Structure 1
Amino acid sequence: MKILTFSTLFPNTEKPGHGIFVETRLRHLVATGLVQARVVAPVAWFPSTHPRFGNYARMARVPRTEVRHGLQVDHPRYPVLPKIGMNVAPLLLAQAAKPAIARIIDEGYDFDLIDAHYFYPDGVAAAMLARYFNKPFVVTARGSDITLLPQFTLPRRMIKWAARRADAVITVCNALRDEVVALGVPADRVTSLRNGVDLQLFRPVERSANPMFTLLTVGHLVPVKAQELIIGALPLLPGVRLAVAGDGPNRGMLEALARTAGVADRVQFLGAVPQAQLREHYGRADALVLASSREGWANVLLESMACGTPVVASRVYGTPEVVAAPEAGVLMAERSPQGVADAVHALRANYPDRAATRRYAEGFSWDDTSAGQVRLFGEVLARGVGIPTRALSY
Structure 2
Amino acid sequence: MLRVLTLATLFPHAAAPNLGVFVERQTLGLAAHFDVDLRVVAPVGLPPWPLSRHGHYAPLVRLPARETWKGLDVRRPRFLTLPGTAGRFHVPALIRALAPLLADIRRDFAFDVIDAEFFFPDGPAAVALGRALGVPVSIKARGADIHHWGTAPATAARVIAAGRQADGLLAVSQAMRADMAALGIPADTIRVHHTGVDLDRFAPRDRIAAKAAFGVSGPLVVSVGALIARKGHDVVIDAVAALPGVSLLIAGAGEARAALEAKITALGIGDRVRLLGALPHADVPALIAAADVMALASASEGLANAWVEALACGTPIVITDAGGACEVVTDAAYGRVVARDAKAFAGAIGNVLAAPAAQAAVRKGAERFAWSANTDALYEHLSGLVVV
Tell me by how many angstroms 1:26 deviates.
Answer: 1.3
**Alignment match, 1:361:** 366
TM-score (norm. length: structure 1): 0.92
Taking the aligned partners of 2:78 and 2:309, their CA distance within structure 1 comes to 33
State the shift of 1:101 in Å.
Answer: 1.4
Question: C-alpha separation between the residues in 2 aligned to 1:20 and 1:145?
Answer: 16
Q: Does 1:250 align with 2:256?
A: yes
Give the corresponding residue for 1:283: 289
Question: Which letter maps to 1:103?
Answer: D
**Post-superposition CA distance 1:286-323 (Å, at most 9, x none):** 11111110110100111111112111111111121112
1:66-81 mapped onto 2 (5 Å cutoff): 66-81=67-82
Q: Is the 8 A contact 2:292 2:353 kept in 1?
A: no
Deviation string 1:192-227 (CA, Å, 9 cap, x unpaired) is: 011010112212223317532111011110111110
Structure 2: gaps of 5 or more residues? 210-215
Distance 2:206 2:288 in 1: 11
Shift of residue 34, structure 1, vs aligned partner:
2.0
Counterpart position of 2:312: 306
1:379 and 1:303 mapped to 2: Cα distance? 30
* Cα displacement (A) at 1:363: 2.4
SS at match of 2:157: helix
Residue 5 (structure 1) aligned with residue 6 (structure 2): yes
1:294 to 288, 296, 300: 300
Indicate yes or no: 2:112 matched with 1:105: no
Q: Distance in 2 between matches of 1:84 and 1:181?
A: 27
Q: Quick check: 166-175 or 141-150, which moved more?
A: 141-150
Superposition deviation, residue 45 in structure 1: 2.9
Whether the aligned pair in 2 keeps the contact of 1:304 and 1:311 (CA below 8 Å) is yes
Query: Would the alpha carbon gap of residues 229 and 47 (structure 1) be closer, same or farther in structure 2, given more than 3 Å must change?
Result: same
Q: What are the Cα deviations for residues 88-120 of structure 1, in whole angstroms up to 9, with x where unaligned?
A: 1011011111222122122x1110000002212
Q: Which moved more, 1:294-303 or 1:152-161?
A: 152-161
**Letter aligned with residue 87 of structure 1:** R
Q: Deviations over 1:143-172 (max 9, x none)?
A: 122122232234221112111210011000
Match in the other structure for 1:22: 23
The residue type equivalent to 1:12 in the other structure is: H
Structure-to-structure mapping, 1:1-394, within 5 angstroms: 1-45=2-46, 53-84=54-85, 86-106=87-107, 108-208=108-208, 211-332=217-338, 334-382=339-387
Letter in 2 for 1:20: V
Q: CA deviation at 1:182?
A: 2.2
The total of aligned residue pairs comes to 381
Residues in 2 aligned to 1:59 and 1:235: alpha-carbon distance in whole angstroms: 39
The residue identity in structure 1 corresponding to 2:331 is A
Following the alignment from structure 1 to structure 2, what is the Cα–Cα distance between the partners of residues 213 and 51? 45
SS in structure 2 at match of 1:151: coil
Measured in 2, the distance between the counterparts of 1:65 and 1:312 equals: 41
Q: Distance in 1 between matches of 2:301 and 2:282?
A: 22
Cα distance in structure 2, aligned partners of 1:51 and 1:261: 40
**Residues 48 and 57, structure 1, Cα contact 8 Å, conserved in 2:** no
Contact 2:39/2:73 (8 A) holds in 1:
yes
Q: 1:92 to 1:273 in 2, by over 3 A?
A: same
TM-score by length of 2: 0.93
The question of whether the paired residues in 2 share the 8 Å contact of 1:123 and 1:139 is answered with: yes
Q: Name the % identity.
A: 36
Shift of 1:262: 1.6
Q: What is the alpha-carbon distance in structure 2 between the residues aligned to residue 261 and residue 51 of structure 1?
A: 40
Q: What residue is the counterpart of 1:390 in the other structure?
A: none
Tell whether the 8 Å contact from 1:287 to 1:312 is kept in structure 2 after alignment.
yes
**3-state SS, counterpart of residue 207 of structure 2:** coil
Equivalent residue, structure 2, for 1:391: none
Give the whole-Å Cα distance in 2 for the aligned partners of 1:153 and 1:253.
Answer: 29
In the TM superposition, residue 46 of structure 1 has moved relative to its aligned partner by: 5.7
The Cα shift of 1:30 comes to: 2.0
Name the CA distance, whole Å, in 2 between partners of 1:85 and 1:356.
Answer: 45
Query: CA offset at residue 235 of structure 1?
Result: 2.6
* Alpha-carbon contact 1:47-1:60 (below 8 Å) kept: no
Instruction: Give the Cα–Cα distance (whole angstroms) in 2 for the partners of residues 121 and 96 of structure 1.
Output: 12
SS of 2:121's equivalent?
helix
Gaps of 5+ in 1: 385-394
Write the distance in 2 (CA, Å) between the matches of 1:85 and 1:288: 33
1:315-356 CA-to-partner distances (Å, cap 9, x unmatched) read: 111121112212211112x10111110110121232110122
Deviates more, 1:155-164 or 1:293-302: 155-164
In 2, the alpha carbon distance for the partners of 1:172 and 1:285 equals 26
